[in-house]
Structure formats: structure tokens, C-alpha cells
Structure 1
Amino acid sequence: MPTSYDALIIGSGQAGNPLATALAKAGRKVAIVEKYLLGGSCINYGCSPVKAMLASAERVYQVATAQEYGVHSSSPTVDFKAIIARKDTIIQEMRDGIRKNLTKEHSGITLLHGHAVFTGPKSVRVTAPDGQTHDLKAPLIFINTGTESAIPPIEGLTDNHFLTNKSILDLQELPEHLLILGGGYIGLEFGQMFRRFGSRVTIIEHATQLLEREDDDVCEAMQEQLGADGVEFVLGAEVKRVSRNEAGTYTLTAHTSDGERRLRGSHLLVAVGRKPNTYDLGLEAAGIEINEKGYILVNERLQTNVRGVYALGDVHPGPQFTHLSYDDYRVVRDNIIHRKRRSAKDRPLPYVVFTQPQLGRIGLSEKQAQEQKLDYRVATMPVQYVGRARETGHTEGFMKVLVDAHNHIIGATIFSEQGGEIMSMIQLAMTGKITCDQLQNMVFAHPTWAESLNNLFAKLEKAG
């Protein structure tokens, strides 16, 4: 007979783990099934490991530029294996913390390692690594299986070993020349990182600009900054073929506006997008609907078309960010446990690209405001005007905010040192309905990055 639980969670991600804890605290009997590593993509091959390695790249840059601050030192020497080891230590501590939380700190949670497949609307079969199977059933099932790298249909690509955002984290030797297929935030973060470690880096992008969802001025500033670091770009390139010779050198044959180009490198990272981990869950046995890309369809309360089955995190359509996955947990928690109506619809979408400078974004871009034909004013200010920027030497980038007819902020783009933190301040102001006039005249401590808001909002002008 199947083992019965009050709730079954498939996937140990940033929504599934806290949900298991909350349900157990509420007296529910919970099973959580993980096929790979505890913590999901964020901890294992997303935010945490990448940001740990970016911190090492930032230290390299600080040493390399120390002379500009009157500090003399030898050129930095990168111990790449030590960088990877530091990252691994940080991540293992996080995994251990999750395991302790799920298995020791909360009774009522059963943790199973294995692959879960639906056998019916409320039943799942889990196949453990040793081949044993466990049949489980529950009135509430939550799918939190995330995404994996999408692989484009390029001739020769699947025949040759290439790197993904997961496997690149386990390299033990620094690439001589890293080719990156994709100019999104994953490609940009890895590009600047490995360039600062000492690799030659070339980013190849199908579109004619980076970060397709951003305004043109943002894309140009980002390309200029990474270009100053030595990252090379090939934009508007349609890669037709990938090959690799006996020496291990990759050759990418691409069509560009300047004709056919052959790009060669020692390593190839494919970072062109993500696809949902839904293909092997047996969703058809449960009657769970998906869209044409394989994402599980949900309503604003994250319910699928099958009663009692929910999809959380990146596995359903929409922006793919850890903080939204965690908010999915809050939506479900409040609706099920606290009996409060809470919706995943129309929530704010803050995000940060962790290059240096950081790109912090909240609300509407100028392009979106124009598409919606909104009446708005815009203020743009180079970061070099900020006193804190000149004092610290971080003068690259710019800030841009959009304000509606009622003097409320509707969007902000902060491409600056501490851009994510400054953006978060603006998000707080947006949530609290603080007007641009109030921010322009607010007393901030001097000299701080926050003080830049005084001068930024003083530059508001009518758009267009």
C-alpha cells in the first residue's frame, strides 16, 4: 500500500524547503523528495556559488587596481583551485544547514532521495538511487523541480563536450579562452568573472544587443563596461555549427552582418536560456497541463488544473528568480495554512545582475513605459556625479528613474556600485508611496550612496 502523507513536495528548492518546514510546524505530515542536491539551483549552481566566485574576481580586480589608490603591490596571482575550493566549502555548509533543518530541527518531515514520477493525480512513485521504489500519496502535492540549461539545436553542439552554468562551477583549471554562447545575465556574470581571473573571454549573442529586456542605454553601458575589462563581443551572430579538434579547441561557425566568422576557444559555455524540469515527472498520468515549452500552467494562487496540485518556483511560467520562488512559498503558505487570500499576480519584480557595477532593476523600463503610452518623467544621472563614487573610485555607470504624473516612482534602473542596494531603497519608496519630491528633499547621511537620490530626482524631465 502507498505511504500516505498530508503533503508531498517534489524538489528541494527555495520554495519547497521553507514550505516543508511551515507545513510541519502546522502539524502536517510532510514528505519531500529530492533527485539531485538539497537546496535547488540557487544554492548548488545558481546564486550562491556564482556570487562566491564573483567575490574572488572582485578581490583580483581590487589588487590589480590598488596602485590607483596609492597602494603598491605585485600583480595578483589567481589560484583557481583555491577559488573553487572556497566556493565548495560555502555551498556544502549551506547544504548541511538545509539537511539539518529538514531532518533534525523539525519533526513530521520525511526526506527521500530519488526520482519522483506521478502515477495518478494524488500519487507518486519514488525510485531511489539504489533502485528501490516507494509509492506515496497525498491530498496536497507541490512541484518545485526548477529548470536546467536549454541547449540550442546547433549542428555539432551535442556531439562535443560543452559547459553549462552547472558544470563550469566544477572546473579545476582556468580556461585559456572561454567562448560564451548567450549574452544574458548568466553569460555576463561568468564573462566578467573569468576575464578578471585571467581568461580571454568572447561572448556570442544572437541579438544585436545584450540583455534583450533592457533599454538601449543600459545595454550599451553594460557592453562598454565589460569591454573595458577586456571581454570581447560578437553580436547579431547566428551560430550554425560547433566543432572540436583533437587538441580540444572549439570552433564556432557563425553568420554575422560582416559575413561568416569562425570563433575559436579552449572552452565553450552554453548560456542561452533555461527549460523546465518537467519532461520526466509523468505529468500526463496526473493530467497536469503544461504549455508548449513544458512549463506547468498555474493560476494566481499557483494551483494547477488538478485540484490539490501546485507548481512553485521556476517550473511554472514567469520570471525565474530565487526571491520570486520564495514568494511562491509565502503565497501557498498563507492560502493553505493561514487561510488568507494571497496572490502571485502583479507582485513587484526586483532583480540584480551581479556584474561590477551591478545592474539593479525594479518596476518599468523606459521602453515598457513607452509601450504602455504612460505619461511619465525621467531622470538620468551619471554615477560619477555622486560624491561617494568619486571618493571610492567606483564612478562607472548611471542611474535612471521614471516618475508618473502623481510624482510616484514607476521604475528604476541603477547601473552602479551597490546598484542592487540602491534599487532596493527605491523599491521601498515605491511600496510606501513616497513621492519623488520627498526623496529629493530627504536628509540622507553624507557621504553615502543613498545621498545620490537627492541629486537624481532633481534631474527629472518630461519624457520624449
Structure 2
Amino acid sequence: MPATSFDAIIIGSGQAGNPLATALAEAGRRVALIEENRLGGSCINYGCSPTKTLLATAERLHQLRTAAAVAAPEIPNAAQLTVDLAAAVARKDDIIGKMRKGIRANLTQKHDVTLLEGHAAFTGPHALLVTLANGSTKDVTAPLIFINTGTRAAIPDISGLADSGYLSTTQLLDLKELPEHLIILGGGYIGLEFSQMFRRFGSRVTIVEAGPQLLEREDDDVCQGLQAALGQEGIEFVMGARAHGVSRGPSGSITVSVTTSAGERRLRGSHLLVATGRTPNSDKLGLGFAGVKTDDKGYILVDNNLRTNVRGIYALGDIHPGPQFTHLSYDDYRVVRDALLHGRKRSARQRPLPYCVFTDPPMARIGLSEGQAQEQKMPYRVATMPVSVIGRAQQTSETRGFWKVLVGNDDRLLGATLLGPEAGEIMAIIEVAMAGRLKYQQLQEMIFAHPTWAEGLNNVFRELKRVGK
């Protein structure tokens, strides 16, 4: 049977692939989208959407337990409240299921996108063999092919881990019974969000981190502040610990053997979550048949416009090197859309990088951290303000954390790191100011509604201190 030809083929229905498919279809292109797993990619199925849904459940439980702190009536046995995990997961599944249905309808009903559900592999630079869910195959070709296949959990090479019955983040999201003691390998943002979630659900939680601090790319004071806040809720940390063995005992408990500066330790828990990073889903795409190059980790190499080394083949989202965030994947779509449909080229590397860690308190950053400014030998002034001085913090009793802002010699913002309530929303204000090249004085003198968290921007710049020349 001859191959079916399209104007464009998109492999993967993540946060870059879906909007690109509909944009190309609206422009009159004949488009096919191939998805091997669930529509929506990582964000909707096992990333942002499900985790933030369950984090909301955990936050509500925490509010009930701590209601007395704001002079609410004492709730009987509030401290012993635990989650009905099966009900929380059912709520999450319902929300995610509706999202997936919406994506399907948008692709196939609102837009005339051909949806092929199966596995795609290259047979040539512009040819693919699709093995469909029913076992049949289909040959497809297109002059434009976009790879948006994302990543999966990276599993470290630890003796006994494969046989221990460990959990990936995807599996943990579907767990119906509450772990008695959850051990988490990895102190990155994924591990931190899950740690607080399950601690508030009622589990004992221990984080094992190989490095000397959490969130290795953040400043020491930020990591220490976040660790202290999580520690106050009973989350345990074993830092500078390299796991070298995992075993499951006859009773079902899991033992993780780690090496620390103080010697060997054995940690015993009921469940083990591996959150030690991600690996790209590029190994089964047949990239060699297309001649597409990857780096030594399997990420597809692209130029500033997200083009691979093969003409007409692009890579978008987490499959190429760089930070892995949904909002950057969506911006990858905009970079490609503007270049192909609007004649406007923009570098995918010259763009701001805002991001948040959705713990409580949350952490958010835009622009340079203080450590990065020092590494680049960039002169700057820095001001740090505790959240507790903000009126809104005092009214809500949410006083943990601090704001740190960096200002250059020209009085314009270089970056900000915020640890505290509504950190992501305040970061967005700072990002807009940076995009508009406002000077810090314009934020300092701006009229913000009272009493809001944003009012802190009137005060945070008062104690700017010069660092560097």
C-alpha cells in the first residue's frame, strides 16, 4: 500500500505538538498527529496538571489542620486528618480525563487533524512507519516533521533497584493507598513537591539527595530556606547521600542503603519513589534512518530555530537539550509557528526563563540568581526582604520565606528569586518589568492595591547592597 502524504506530521501531542497541529491545520495544511500514549503529553497526564490537582488536596488538608492558628474553632482530631487517597486520585482522574477529551475534540472536530494513535519510527528523512494500537501499520510521509515526544523517568543504576518494586512519579500519581513511609530519591523540584504532598496526606516522608543541597541550581539561602520550611512539617532529609543498594524484605518493606560523609546508613520505608531526573524518548524513533543527530544523552540537537540537522525536521519541547518546562514547550510552538506561518524568526535560546516550584511556600525565579551573577562576574546590587514584613503576610499568618532581587548598574532588574506565598504571581510582575526594561524605581514607586502581596515591591528595593565592581 502506498504511503499517505501529509503537509506536516507531528510526533507527540504535548504542549508544543497540539497547538502546532491546530495552527497548521487552520493555515490550510494537511496535518497528521501521532500519539503513542495519552493525548496531552507529560504536563496533562503525569506532570503539572495531576500533581497540582493533588497538591491542592494536600493544601486543603493542611488548612484544616492549621485552622486554629487564625482563631478558628478547634477541629476535633485535626492533627490526625489523613487523605482519602482513592477519592483524591478519582478527582484528579476526572479532571485529567476531561482535559484529554477536550484535546481530542479540538484536534479532530474543531480542526481537521488526522489523529494516528500508535508508535512512529522513521524509515527515511521524511518517511515514518506508524504501528497502530490494533497492530496494523501505516506508512506516512511529509516534507515537515516535528518531534515532540518528551521524556520519561531516568532510573539510576543502583543494585537491587529494578527488583525492588520502586515507583515512578507516574505510578505514584495513581496510588490508591497511602504509603506509611515514602522514601524519595532526588531532591529536585519533582521530589520536593511530592514530598510535601504525601507528608500532608499523612505519610512519613524521607528525601535522599546526593548533592549537598536541594535544587542544585539555586542559591544556598534559597535552598536552606525551603528545606527549613519543609522540615518544619516533618519531612526528613538525608543530604550528601549516594544510594548504592535497594532491597525489599519479606514483610514488603524497602531498605535503601546509602553512603554519607558520616558513614553508611540504611533507610527503611514502605514505598520508594525515584525522582532523579528524566531521559528523552528518542531511542525508539529510528532517528538513524532519518540521519537526525542527538547528544550523548539522547536529546535531539537543534539550532536556535529548533531545526535539527536534517532539513524539514524539527524538535520541540523536552526532547531537545535545555530546561524542561511546559511554558517553554509552548513557546517552542510559537517560535516554529511564527517562522513557518508568519515569516518572523525568533531564537528559542534568547528568551526569559520563569519557573516555579509549587511547594508551600512556593519558590519562583526569573532572570539571574545571585550565584549566576557571580559566575558571570556581573556587577550587581542585591536586596533581600523577609516575607514577614509584608502586611498581607501578617494578616494571613503566612510569613515563611523571603524575596531577593538583583539590580544592575543601569538600575534595571537582572533577576529575582522569591520564596513565599504567591511567589509565581509576583515573579510574573517582575518578568513584565524586565521585558519592558523598567528601572527598579518604577516598581518601587508604583501604586499597588492595598493590601496585596504585590505591595512588597514597594519595599524590597530599600536595602540594595552593591556586590562586585
Shorter-chain TM band: over 0.9
Q: Separation in 2 of the partners of 1:345 and 1:252?
A: 40
1:246 Cα offset (Å): 2.1
The one of 79, 88, 101 aligned to 2:93: 88
1:118-138 Cα deviation digits (max 9, x unpaired): 000000000012210000000
The one of 100, 103, 109 aligned to 1:104: 109
1:21 Cα offset (Å): 0.2
The one of 193, 201, 224 aligned to 1:197: 201
Give structure 2 stretches of 5+ with no counterpart. none
Q: Which amino acid aligns with 1:95?
A: R
Q: Separation in 2 of the partners of 1:77 and 1:151?
A: 30
1:100-134 Cα deviation digits (max 9, x unpaired): 00111112x10010000000000000001221000
Give structure 1 stretches of 5+ with no counterpart. none
The one of 233, 239, 256 aligned to 1:235: 239
1:43 Cα offset (Å): 0.1
Q: Separation in 2 of the partners of 1:442 and 1:18?
A: 36
Q: Which amino acid aligns with 1:47?
A: C
The answer for the alignment partner of 2:68 in structure 1 is 67
Q: Separation in 2 of the partners of 1:213 and 1:248?
A: 36
Q: Separation in 2 of the partners of 1:435 and 1:411?
A: 12
In structure 2, the residue corresponding to 1:104 is in which secondary structure?
helix
Q: How does 1:11-50 map to 2 (within 5 A)?
A: 11-50=12-51
The answer for the alignment partner of 1:439 in structure 2 is 443
1:463 Cα offset (Å): 2.1
Q: Separation in 1 of the partners of 2:344 and 2:436?
A: 22
In structure 2, the residue corresponding to 1:457 is in which secondary structure?
coil
Q: So what's the TM-score if we normalise by structure 2?
A: 0.98
1:343 Cα offset (Å): 1.6
Q: So what's the TM-score if we normalise by structure 1?
A: 0.99
The answer for the alignment partner of 1:390 in structure 2 is 394
The answer for the alignment partner of 1:114 in structure 2 is 118
The answer for the alignment partner of 2:289 in structure 1 is 285
1:460 Cα offset (Å): 1.1
The one of 355, 358, 361 aligned to 1:357: 361
1:345 Cα offset (Å): 1.7
The answer for the alignment partner of 1:340 in structure 2 is 344
Q: How many residues of Structure 1 are paired with residues of Structure 2 in the alignment? A: 463
Structure 1 position 372 matched with structure 2 position 373: no
The answer for the alignment partner of 1:452 in structure 2 is 456
Does the aligned pair in 1 maintain the 2:363–2:419 contact within 8 Å? yes
Q: Separation in 1 of the partners of 2:279 and 2:349?
A: 22
- Identical aligned pairs, as a percentage? 63
The one of 269, 272, 275 aligned to 1:271: 275
The one of 319, 326, 330 aligned to 2:323: 319
1:77 Cα offset (Å): 4.1
Q: Which amino acid aligns with 2:105?
A: K
Structure 1 position 79 matched with structure 2 position 80: no
Q: Separation in 2 of the partners of 1:375 and 1:234?
A: 36
Q: Separation in 1 of the partners of 2:260 and 2:83?
A: 35
The answer for the alignment partner of 2:426 in structure 1 is 422
The answer for the alignment partner of 1:207 in structure 2 is 211
Q: Separation in 1 of the partners of 2:368 and 2:347?
A: 20
The answer for the alignment partner of 1:54 in structure 2 is 55
In structure 2, the residue corresponding to 1:61 is in which secondary structure?
helix
The answer for the alignment partner of 1:152 in structure 2 is 156
